[in-house]
């Protein structure tokens, strides 16, 4: 087609002329359903907006007959603004989020849906409050679980009468769901799940409403289709008739929100659901270098559940991504600091992104960046010591160290809830002066003045502190021992892993009920609060189990909390989880924590495929450089745990990466030797510089090298790459000995 067609706006003509062949095909195709497989960084937003403008300008569509749906208000606003700049009247096209469209549809068909036109939309907190009005005897935390289950059921368009076993095994869920929905309908309001499910029910049950809406929307476009759930798929199906042009845009390789209800099968099965579908692949990437795209492609190619595409770029050059194998997370942090410090390029804000699987992993990076004075920002989360659960735990520790700490006392005395309300707290504080400021004693003085129930709870609260206080001796180290402890802390290595402050912090979290409380919060909200508390335990492992150690730990926390992280504009480092990187891009990406059990976390095949897609997303955020780090051991519950490198590293073809190890022989060279596996066969006696004598349990292929699993005479097991770990040596004797050490 001649893009200088008379009648088209100049901006649209320029936009059409700037499309690559795949993008142009996607914009011009109109004769059958269209699936646009848009790889990372391939310009999908440009394609959608140009297509909307093209339908209006070249094909004569009434803008009001076009419906485009996406998942965020920001994306909808950007799409609307771009389209309006390309075509006259494009601002009248309906460009909304799924939920916004559902609300629009229900309000305009309120009578048919059995709703008042002025209905309110309940959020999660409102839903829990409604359940509490039905079940006042139950705790809100318990009801929040039911609220979450009801929301998930609506994502699948399941009613109380349907089989809900896929949602939850709770036997009361159908009854609770039915009571909740009945009350919600009596009130005349809806929740967020209803904004999709009730339009589906209305369209599928009322031919008049369905016919009216199908007649209105001549073209329906869906962005980020890989993130749609079952209810959203059914809404799309119900809005389409045989004359509707339907186009979905997405990337099956970037479907990473299964935990939110996203169903990757929606995009995988689209050609089957909509016969005659044309599949157009957008494979030219405008973001990353060729070596980065080669790595990303090799990673995700292992997945079976994908339609398949190969990203390429016309950008010249690019360095090979690196795998850096380190001893522990302290070396990992030091490596990140080194990478930032030695960056010779222009120090532009946000040039380096440090990615991790869980929010809890941010803590050591935050601490190091603050102490080094390197400006950073953390995306999608609060700073570690600003997180609610961490502040709760630190408040307990502060009150343990100083019973005069009123701020800490007020925060923790009724958390988790113990029936010690604000009025009771004020009555107890009246005895502060008589107790010489000691709030522990003030509580004892006031026990007789509060209700029997509150007094019993307060006694249990005080007993926790008495027990912990008695377990916390005064510091008795001599000067030499103190120097040894300080030297160990400067190396970030606990002198004796069994004798650190971590055990006391872990005990406090258990006895106070905080671990259980925040674990329940995790189950409801899908948050990572318990992992953050575990990371606080890890931080405490650097301090001795004494009163002085506790004070030092709290002082370090206060110093880190008070240090300026720098402004967002000046930040040289971005700390972010892999999930939160979706839609973002950075000059350089460092992906940390690539160990089995951390990433990937589970062995379930479906989970593994999604974790592999998450890895792909993380890699494709980078413009110029990718570094992957894996640690041989990592602290967990204040103790070191030996770990295996992530299986994803072993899946990478050797020619696509450089492998480095400060403890070994540097980068891997060449291919795998066929004889090397025999040299490390099962039963081979070995010796390791750090772990002593052991026996090989098994050997497996890992990319270009052999990975050897060893059981040591201490009972510990570990996995090693002999090609670059020179600390592991074969020793004479013991081969095929039957495993004398195990």
Per the annotation, binding residues are 38-45
Q: What whole-number distance in Å separates Cα of residue 613 and Cα of residue 597? A: 17
Q: What whole-number distance in Å separates Cα of residue 504 and Cα of residue 472? A: 8
44 classed as catalytic: yes
In the set 45, 284, 658, 717, the catalytic residue is 45
Find the helix or strand (DSSP H, E) in which 560 lies: helix 547-562
User: Which residues have a Cβ under 8 Å from the Cβ of 682 and sit 6 or more positions away?
Assistant: 696, 697, 698, 699, 736
In the set 57, 191, 194, 223, the catalytic residue is 223
Q: What whole-number distance in Å separates Cα of residue 192 and Cα of residue 197? A: 9
In this structure, what DSSP letter does residue 591 have?
E
254 classed as catalytic: yes
223 classed as catalytic: yes
Record the tokens describing residue 434, joined without a space. Answer: 């008589």
In the set 13, 232, 254, 329, the catalytic residue is 254
Answer whether 208's CB lies under 8 Å from 230's CB: no
Record the tokens describing residue 31, joined without a space. Answer: 């004769």
Answer whether 304's CB lies under 8 Å from 609's CB: yes
9 classed as catalytic: no
In this structure, what DSSP letter does residue 312 have?
B
Q: Which of 495, 484, 497 is nearest to 640 (CA)?
A: 497
Q: What whole-number distance in Å separates Cα of residue 497 and Cα of residue 544? A: 10
Q: In angstroms, what CA-CA distances link 525 with 173, 352, 516, 675?
A: 18, 30, 14, 51
70 classed as catalytic: no
Q: Which of 107, 133, 132 is nearest to 120 (CA)?
A: 107
Instruction: Return binding residues for ATP.
Output: 38-45
**Longest Cα pair distance anywhere in the chain, in angstroms?**
90
224 classed as catalytic: yes
Q: What whole-number distance in Å separates Cα of residue 159 and Cα of residue 205? A: 15
In the set 224, 283, 552, 595, the catalytic residue is 224
Q: In angstroms, what CA-CA distances link 386 with 306, 378, 513?
A: 40, 12, 20
φ and ψ of 739, to 5 deg? 85, 65
In the set 198, 387, 432, 621, the catalytic residue is 621
- Give per-residue burial for 500-509: e unless 16+ CB within 10 Å, then b: bbbbbbbebb
Q: In angstroms, what CA-CA distances link 320 with 328, 371, 628, 655?
A: 24, 31, 11, 9
In the set 23, 24, 44, 398, the catalytic residue is 44
Q: Helix, strand or coil for residue 158?
A: coil
Answer whether 27's CB lies under 8 Å from 54's CB: yes
How wide is the angle at C-alpha 298 spanned by C-alphas 676 and 271, nearest 5°?
Answer: 140
Long-range contacts of 532-535 (CB under 8 A, 24+ apart): 532/359, 532/360, 532/363, 532/384, 532/387, 532/389, 532/390, 533/389, 533/390, 533/393, 533/509, 534/360, 534/636, 534/637, 535/360, 535/361, 535/363, 535/384
The residues that are catalytic are: 44-45, 223-224, 254, 621
């Amino acid at each position: 087609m001649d893009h200088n067609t008379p009648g088209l706006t100049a901006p649209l003509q320029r936009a059409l002329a700037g499309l690559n062949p795949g993008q142009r095909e996607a914009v011009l195709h109109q004769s059958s359903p269209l699936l646009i497989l848009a790889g990372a960084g391939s310009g999908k937003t440009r394609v959608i907006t140009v297509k909307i403008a093209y339908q209006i300008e070249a094909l004569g569509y009434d803008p009001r007959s076009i419906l485009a749906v996406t998942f965020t208000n920001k994306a909808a606003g950007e799409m609307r603004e771009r389209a309006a700049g390309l075509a006259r009247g494009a601002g009248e096209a309906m460009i909304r989020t799924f939920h916004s469209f559902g609300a629009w549809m229900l309000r305009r068909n309120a009578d048919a849906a059995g709703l008042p036109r002025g209905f309110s939309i309940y959020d999660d907190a409102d839903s829990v409050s409604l359940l509490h009005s039905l079940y006042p005897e139950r705790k809100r935390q318990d009801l929040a679980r039911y609220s979450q289950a009801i929301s998930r059921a609506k994502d699948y368009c399941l009613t109380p009468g349907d089989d809900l076993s896929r949602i939850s095994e709770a036997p009361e869920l159908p009854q609770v769901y039915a009571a909740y929905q009945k009350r919600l309908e009596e009130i005349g309001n809806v929740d967020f799940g209803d904004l999709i499910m009730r339009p589906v029910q209305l369209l599928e049950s009322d031919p008049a409403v369905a016919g009216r809406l199908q007649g209105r929307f001549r073209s329906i476009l869906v962005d980020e289709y890989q993130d749609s759930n079952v209810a959203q798929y059914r809404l799309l199906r119900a809005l389409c008739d045989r004359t509707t042009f339907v186009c979905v845009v997405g990337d099956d390789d970037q479907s990473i929100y299964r935990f939110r209800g996203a169903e990757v099968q929606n995009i995988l099965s689209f050609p089957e659901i909509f016969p005659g579908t044309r599949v157009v692949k957008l494979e030219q990437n405008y973001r990353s270098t060729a070596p980065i795209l080669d790595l990303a492609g090799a990673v995700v190619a292992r997945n079976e559940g994908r339609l398949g595409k190969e990203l390429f770029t016309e950008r010249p050059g690019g360095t090979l991504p690196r795998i850096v194998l380190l001893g522990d997370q302290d070396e990992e942090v030091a490596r990140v600091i080194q990478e930032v410090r030695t960056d010779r390029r222009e120090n532009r804000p946000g040039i380096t992104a440090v990615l991790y699987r869980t929010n809890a992993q941010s803590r050591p990076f935050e601490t190091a960046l603050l102490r080094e004075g390197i400006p950073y920002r953390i995306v999608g989360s609060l700073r570690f010591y600003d997180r609610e659960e961490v502040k709760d735990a630190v408040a307990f520790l502060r009150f343990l160290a100083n019973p005069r700490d009123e701020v800490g006392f007020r925060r923790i005395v009724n958390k988790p809830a113990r029936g010690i309300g604000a009025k009771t707290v004020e009555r107890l504080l009246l005895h502060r002066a008589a107790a010489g400021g000691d709030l522990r004693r003030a509580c004892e003085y006031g026990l007789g003045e509060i209700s029997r129930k509150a007094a019993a709870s307060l006694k249990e609260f005080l007993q926790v502190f008495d027990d912990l206080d008695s377990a916390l001796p005064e510091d008795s180290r001599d000067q030499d021992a103190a120097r040894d402890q300080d030297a160990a802390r400067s190396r970030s290595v606990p002198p004796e892993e069994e004798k650190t402050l971590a055990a006391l912090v872990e005990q406090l979290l258990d006895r106070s009920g905080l671990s259980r409380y925040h674990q329940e919060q995790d189950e409801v909200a899908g948050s990572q609060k318990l992992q953050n508390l575990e990371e606080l335990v890890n931080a405490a492992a650097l301090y001795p189990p004494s009163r002085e150690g506790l004070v030092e730990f709290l002082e370090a926390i206060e110093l880190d909390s008070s240090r300026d992280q720098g402004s967002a504009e000046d930040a040289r480092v971005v700390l972010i989880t892999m999930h939160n990187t979706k839609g973002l891009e950075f000059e350089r990406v460092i992906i940390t924590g690539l160990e089995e059990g951390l990433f990937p976390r589970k062995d379930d095949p479906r989970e593994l495929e999604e974790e592999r897609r998450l890895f792909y997303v993380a890699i494709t955020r980078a413009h110029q450089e990718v570094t992957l780090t894996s640690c041989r051991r990592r602290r967990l519950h204040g103790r070191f745990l030996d770990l295996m490198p992530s299986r994803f590293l072993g899946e990478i073809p050797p020619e696509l990466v450089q492998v480095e190890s400060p403890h070994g022989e540097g980068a891997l060279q060449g291919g795998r030797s066929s004889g090397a596996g025999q040299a490390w066969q099962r039963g081979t006696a070995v010796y390791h510089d750090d772990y002593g004598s052991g026996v090989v349990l098994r050997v497996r292929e890992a990319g270009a090298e052999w990975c050897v699993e060893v059981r040591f005479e201490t009972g510990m097991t570990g996995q090693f790459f002999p090609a670059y770990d020179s600390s592991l040596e074969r020793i004479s004797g013991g081969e095929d000995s039957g495993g004398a050490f195990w």
